[in-house]
Chains A and B, each alone.
Chain A
Amino acid sequence: MAEAALDLRGLGYRTGAAALVEDVTFDLHPGEVLGLIGPNGAGKTTLLRLMAGLLRPFTGEVRLHGRPLPDWPARERARRMGYLPQHFAPHWDYTARELLRLGLERGGSAEGLEDVASLHGVAGLLERRWSSLSGGERARVLAASVLATRPGVVLADEATAALDVGQSLALMGRLRMAAREGAAVAVVVHDLNLALAGCDRLALLHQGRLQALETAASLAEDARLDAAFGVDFVRVRTEGGLLLTARGGG
């Protein structure tokens, strides 16, 4: 397998006495889409923020292309790594062009803005202000801005949370496109079926620990999934692959 774009070694993070992430080790490879799944409070978002360098780990380290994250100059790191937040609400009413420009400029210049815009299907939105964009348009503009420098590592934190099913699939498609171009993609996904359909490998987190790291197809069959979520999943085989649904409660 190719050299890891991002490797995590013994990563730990805590607030007060509570360990939010404990001893997590894995590699993220160019060309793959890795889904981080787990029940609420499992530490997915914390782990992703550690991977993005937005939080400093208490133990262990994250290496980007073999070099520890804190050793990268901020600009260099920003160009090589893209981060899609869970909720994005700019404080000022930027136009799509301005947002794209801010994203592109981390590479040093704003050249090729029009090309990036057409690549991500936002060429027609460039002069529109954020407040006038629909949810799906916003997701496209943000993704275009974050992916503008073609970062080698893309980290998305439940970026599909506020999107409808079509928009979620479209965003996953864009992340897949980035992976095809060689990016290593890690994405926190709440919807297990979306994770199964859109990811190559899945990392299952529970209580801050990595419970399993398998291909999506094999983790779907794994009993650890049921244990982590505390439910018995019904596995429905379809033409498109396995579908998970939780057995009714009560």
Chain B
Amino acid sequence: MIAWLLPPLGLLAGLMLGAVTLTPAEAWSLLADPTQPLGQLLWQWRLPRVLAAGCVGALLALGGAVFQGVFRNPLAEPYLLGSAGGAAVGATVALLVALPLPQWLSLPMLAFCGAWGATWLVLALARLADGTSVATLLLAGVAVAALLGAVRSFLMLALSDETVSLQAVLAWALGGVQTPSWPELAVLAALTAAALALCLALARGLDLLGLGEAVAESFGLPVRRFVALAVLAGAFVVAVSVVWGGLVGFVGLMAPHLARWTSGPLHRGLLPRAAAIGAGLAMLCDGAARALLPPAEIPLGLVTAAIGAPFFLLVLAREARRG
């Protein structure tokens, strides 16, 4: 129930918060009258921005839920696993290198390849050690994320020139939702809906995988093929979120956890709730990012990290106690 309340709450907070903070009544009357200058601003800037943040949050949550399911690890998360970092490297190349492809195509494609490659790298490193234990996976993820961060910084320094603003790339790397036009928002919303459908199609397999590979296989799940497919789907979801929202950490960790507390571990119930919680969280954090230091904006990634890092430590402590 709480899961479904978060998106409207986040939407309301997102509409109220910003350089000019509004009361709910003011926000409502401005939305109702788009002829006023402030009303226009709300319709053209704040509302699409808030909704885009919601989509990015939902995508991060879905990516986190799928990766937690695939890796059978409650600390797996697009940001910590390096898959978001991989997407960011791909996207940086697309932004800074003159490619024979138009950028609207090369950006998501390279982001997807980066996310996919990084996730496989972490999976392979973890398997080389001792499978998918919490510690191994985290260490492999940290190492890959650090490497990818270095590669991205190098690319930014080596390739940026007067034609590309380094600040723009940097702001995006710190995590921040760009304000889309309404047609752009429609594309993002459609991709988010497709991502939800794709993840729901994986739900039963993720449930079975939670029983361990041997039992999952004996219950009819072709484990290797399924993991390959799920990593592909997860990389797609993460790539879309990174293209629109940059590097935003911890939403993909928190949302699936909160969803699991409300709905239990079965993915059919978990995935939509995680998406709703992720959307609500991202809208709230994005509102805070715009309102804390007006007229400047704090990168969204900093706000989510401020909330998410303590949450991460809490989950880590719980896992350590469980052994």
Chain B nearest CB, measured from A140 CB (Å):
16
CA gap between A102 and B37 in the complex, in Å: 56
CA gap between A75 and B216 in the complex, in Å: 11
- Which one of A52, A92, A95 lies within 8 Å of B218 (CB-CB)? A52
Residues from 45 to 82 in A contacting B, C-beta threshold 8 Å: 49, 52-54, 74-75, 77-79, 81-82
**How many residues of B sit at the interface, in one of the four size bands?**
20 to 34
Which residues of chain B are within 8 angstroms of A81 by Cβ–Cβ distance? Answer: 218
Verify B208–A102 contact, CB threshold 8 A: yes
Verify B264–A102 contact, CB threshold 8 A: no
Chain B nearest CB, measured from A103 CB (Å):
7
Chain A nearest CB, measured from B180 CB (Å):
36
The DSSP consensus for interface residues of chain B is loop
CA gap between A8 and B85 in the complex, in Å: 49
- Total A-B residue pairs with C-beta atoms closer than 8 Å? 62
- Which one of B72, B204, B264 lies within 8 Å of A91 (CB-CB)? B72
Verify B219–A98 contact, CB threshold 8 A: no
Which residues of chain A are within 8 angstroms of B212 by Cβ–Cβ distance? Answer: 85, 88-91
Verify B208–A54 contact, CB threshold 8 A: no
CA gap between A105 and B268 in the complex, in Å: 14
Which residues of chain A are within 8 angstroms of B266 by Cβ–Cβ distance? Answer: 94, 98
Which residues of chain A are within 8 angstroms of B222 by Cβ–Cβ distance? Answer: 74
Q: Total interface residues on A, using CB and 8 Å?
A: 28
Which residues of chain A are within 8 angstroms of B73 by Cβ–Cβ distance? Answer: 91
Residues from 200 to 228 in B contacting A, C-beta threshold 8 Å: 204, 207-212, 214-215, 217-222
Residues from 83 to 142 in A contacting B, C-beta threshold 8 Å: 83, 85, 88-95, 98-99, 102-103, 105-106
Residues from 169 to 219 in B contacting A, C-beta threshold 8 Å: 204, 207-212, 214-215, 217-219
- Which one of A53, A54, A90 lies within 8 Å of B210 (CB-CB)? A90
Verify A102–B211 contact, CB threshold 8 A: yes
CA gap between A51 and B301 in the complex, in Å: 51
Residue of B nearest to A76 (CB): B220
Residues from 152 to 178 in B contacting A, C-beta threshold 8 Å: none
Verify B211–A74 contact, CB threshold 8 A: no
The interface bits of chain A over 148-174 (1 if a CB of B lies within 8 angstroms of the residue's CB, else 0) are 000000000000000000000000000
Which residues of chain A are within 8 angstroms of B210 by Cβ–Cβ distance? Answer: 90-92, 94
Chain A nearest CB, measured from B133 CB (Å):
11
Which residues of chain A are within 8 angstroms of B221 by Cβ–Cβ distance? Answer: 74
Chain B nearest CB, measured from A30 CB (Å):
19
CA gap between A93 and B72 in the complex, in Å: 12
Verify B211–A54 contact, CB threshold 8 A: no
Chain A nearest CB, measured from B297 CB (Å):
38
Which residues of chain A are within 8 angstroms of B218 by Cβ–Cβ distance? Answer: 52-54, 78, 81-83, 146
CA gap between A32 and B73 in the complex, in Å: 40
Q: Which residues of B contact A (CB under 8 A)?
A: 72-73, 204, 207-212, 214-215, 217-222, 260, 264-266
* CB-based closest 7 A-B pairs: A78-B220, A92-B265, A83-B218, A91-B72, A75-B220, A92-B210, A74-B220
**Can you list 7 A-B contacts (CB < 8 A)?**
A54-B218, A85-B214, A91-B209, A92-B260, A99-B211, A105-B204, A106-B220
Known: A74-B221, A83-B215, A90-B212. 8 other contacts (CB 8 A): A54-B217, A83-B214, A83-B218, A88-B212, A91-B211, A98-B265, A102-B207, A102-B208
